[in-house]
Each structure stands twice: as structure tokens, then as C-alpha cells.
Amino acid sequence: MKRRDPAAAALSIWTALVLLFLFFPLVVVAMFSFNGSTISRFPLQGFTLHWYAKLFADRAIIEALWNSIIVALSTVGISTTLGVLAAVGIHRYGGSFAVAMRGFALRPMMVPRLIIGIALLTFYDLFKTNLSLLTVIGGHVVMTLPYVIMIISARLVGFDKSTEEAAWDLGASTFTVFREITLPFLKPALIAATLMSFTLSFDEVVVTFFTTGNANTLPMVIWSMLRFGITPEVNAIATITIFSSGLFAIAAELSLRRARDLS
């Protein structure tokens, strides 16, 4: 019989505790979303789907949900396109110029969202732009682009340039090389970047608040509902959001892992 390593046992207990600390509050929220009472306390007062029914009957929330989805999908489209092109371009330059460019491109990640939001509002105002979902998408692209560049750049580190050169040798055009060699190589990272930027955009409140005109997104509605306390409806939205972003995050992690295994 194998002797158990006490260090390994301690580590697994520690890991379990950390995970419990991180996820238990989310489990509680999900439990209360099915709770019969309006008050979030134990013992639970019986199982109900009432809060979910109420949620889906609320036109304002459904509209906000659509707005959020539209913004998130558009942000993903623009961010990943720009991000891939930027990362590939930077990688091709190489040397200290690439290091400087990458540092510059990642900068918005360090800036607090509040500052990005107010700066964008002032910027849009300077050009008398009519704020709408389009300006929100603009804000979200600024916010998510660095993450895309970072993820794609990490993947490009293991890229074997000779495959591109071989394709050129065989007469492929630049565009064909990109489509047949570079893009397939980037696929796992591209999926990860897509899911990452979707999640970031879907959850964002501050940047959205400052760049929106007359449209509300789902997180904005939830945030403003919180002024007078957490109602079970908020628990229900939170549960749906946690569940779907959880799925996205897991999918992103799996494709990142595949990227690592392949390289």
C-alpha cells in the first residue's frame, strides 16, 4: 500500500477550502433564487420557479438582456478581428519594437474601468457623438482588445515560422497563408479570446453606464435594482448569468489547455 504524503493531503484540503470560499456564495445565490420567501434566510421556504417566471415576464429586463447580447457579440467580432491582426503584426516585427508595442497595446488593462468610462464619455462628447449601443460597443472594444492581444500573442510564441515560409515557397499568397496556416494554428487561442471578451463585455457595468445613450444593459438594470436590496428576481438573474458565464469560462479554459498541449 502506498503511504499518503501529508503535504499532498494538506494541499488538497487547502484547495478544497479555497474553492469552497470562492464558490459557496454563488451556490447560496442559486439556492435562494428557488426559495419561496422574499427574504434570503435559512431555512428555505419551499421550492418555487416564481422568480424566474416573474423575470421573464419583465419586458425591461428582456430588452436589457437582448441589448447585452447584441453588445457582447459585436464586441467579440470587432475585438477578435483587431486583436488577431495586431498580435500577428507585432509578432512578425519581433525584437524590442514588438516588446514596446505589446506593452503599449496591453496598457488599457491597467487603467481602472471608471477612468476608461469617463474618458470615453468626454471623448465622445468632444465629437458630439450620439451615444447609443454603438458607442457602448466602442467602449467594450477598448476594454477587451488587450485581453485578445495577450491571449493570441501567448499562442504565437510557439509558432513555427518555417511552415509559413514553406507555404510561400509553394506559391501561396499572403492571404492564403494567413487563412490556411496562421489562422488554424491560432484557433484554440482564438476561441479562448472570443469567450473571454464575450464574458468581459457581458458583465461590464461601469464602461457601459458612461457610454450608453437610452439603452440599458442587463448588468445596469441589476445594479440599479440593488438600490433597495436584493430581491429574489435579482438572485434568479444572477443564477442564470453565473451559469452561462461559467460555461463560457470553462470552454475558454479547455481550449486554452488544448492550445498548450498542441504547442
Partner 1 sequence: MEKESMNLLLPRGISRRKVAHLIGGAAMASTIPAALRSAFAQERSLNLFTWSSWGEQGFVDEAHSKLHLDIKPTFYSSSDEMMAKLRGGGTRLYDMIVPVQNYVEPAAKAGLIEPLNPAVLTNSKDIFDQFAKSQQWRVDGKLYGIPFVWGANAMAFNRKETGELDSINALFDPKYKGRIAMRDEPEDTLSVAALKLGIKQPFSMGEKELQEVKKLLISQKPLVRTYWKNVADVQNLLATGEVVVAWSFLAVIAPLRKAGVDVGWVWPKEGAIGWSEAITPVKGTNKIKLVEEYANFTLSPEYGELMARNTRYAPSSKAAIAKLEPALVKDLGIDIANVNRLVFKDLPKDKSRWNEVWNEVKAA
Q: Which residues bind partner 1 (CB under 8 A)?
A: 37-41, 45, 58-60, 66-67, 69-70, 73-74, 76-77, 118, 121-122, 124-125, 128, 130-134, 179-180, 183-184, 187, 190-191, 194, 209-210, 212-216, 220-221, 223-230
Find the shortest distance in angstroms from Cβ 216 to partner 1: 6
Pick from 52, 31, 26: nearest CA to 41: 31
CB of 37 to partner 1, least distance (A): 5
Least distance in angstroms from the C-beta of 136 to partner 1: 9
Query: Is the CB of 101 or the CB of 225 nearer to partner 1?
Result: 225
For partner 1, the closer of residues 2 and 41 by Cβ is: 41
Alpha-carbon distance 133 to 135, whole Å? Answer: 5
For partner 1, which is the closer residue by CB, 166 or 183? Answer: 183
In the complex, the smallest distance separating the C-beta of residue 97 from partner 1, rounded to whole angstroms, is 29
Computed over its alpha carbons, how large is the radius of gyration of the chain? 23
Nearest of 111, 93, 258 to residue 161 by alpha carbon: 93
Cell numbers representing residue 92 in the block: 512578425
Question: Which residue type, as a one-letter code, is found at position 235?
Answer: N
Residue with cell 493570441: 152
Q: Is residue 118 within 8 Å of 206, Cβ to Cβ?
A: no
Sign of the Cα pseudo-torsion (68, 70, 75, 77, in order): positive
Q: Which is nearer to partner 1, 88 or 118 (CB)?
A: 118
For residues 102 and 136, which CB has a smaller minimum distance to partner 1 in the complex?
A: 136
Comparing CB distances to partner 1, the nearer of 122 and 174 is 122
- Evaluate whether 242 touches 26 at the Cβ level (below 8 Å): yes
Q: Which of 160, 155, 148, 149 is nearest to 199 (CA)?
A: 148
